[in-house]
Amino acid sequence: MEDLKANDKRSYIDNLIDFFRKRSIWMLHYCTGCGAVELPPSMTSRWDIERFGIVPMATPRQADVLLVTGYVSLKTLKRIIKIYEQMPEPKWVLAFGSCTVNGGIYWDSYNTITNLAEYIPVDITVSGCMPRPEAVIDALQTLMEMIQSGEGGAYKKYKENYEYYKKNQDRVLRKTAPILGSSETESIYQEKEGNYET
């Protein structure tokens, strides 16, 4: 409903700017997990996403779209958040595969997050494990339609609900207490650890 209201107010200038944005999506593919393998074929001659004006970029400053291509470990999540915050607005996030939605086959791992949308706002998630280049192109075209209709504004959500995202990020990245509670082995470990901490 809100999107429809927003659509009414859009002027010709907005439409023109959105046309530019839609036809010139520059992506930053942060190659985590296995989805990175699907991107070279979609860029080369068989699928060729450059015909939509979609080009890979080298740095977050130049990029419009962040592609998170697979499972995200805690160490990676830290970097993804840094990269996402470095990108100038407007920016969009494309999450690949089931790993970024519910953890995929790594759902019970101690070190990979299960739902990326809890930590940064995700515009589109592509289904598949891994999505084939056709699915990637389909997702990018959906993103283009969203941009043209003025929907793709998840980056605004990040600003509005920053506390929510920050809380989730801190919960997994800045742990202060053990998650599973204390046990005997743990206390022993902590003691020994204390001796060897420099």
Residues that bind another protein (CB under 8 A): 16-17, 19-21, 23-24, 44-45, 48, 50-53, 57-59, 61-62, 64, 74-75, 78, 87-90, 102-103, 107-115, 118, 171-180, 183, 185-186, 188-189, 192-193, 196
Select 1 or 110, whichever has its Cβ closest to another protein. 110
**Cα separation, 174 vs 171, whole angstroms:** 6
Beta bridge partner(s), residue 92? 65
Identify residue 83 by its one-letter amino acid code: I
The nearest distance, CB 161 to another protein, in angstroms, is 17
Q: How far is the CB of 102 from another protein (least distance, A)?
A: 7
**Closest separation in Å from C-beta 89 to another protein:** 5
Closer to another protein by Cβ: residue 11 or 176: 176
DSSP E strand stretches across 31-179: 55-56, 65-68, 92-96, 124-126
CB atoms within 10 A of CB 30: 20
CA distance 31 to 15: 32
CB of 62 to another protein, least distance (A): 6
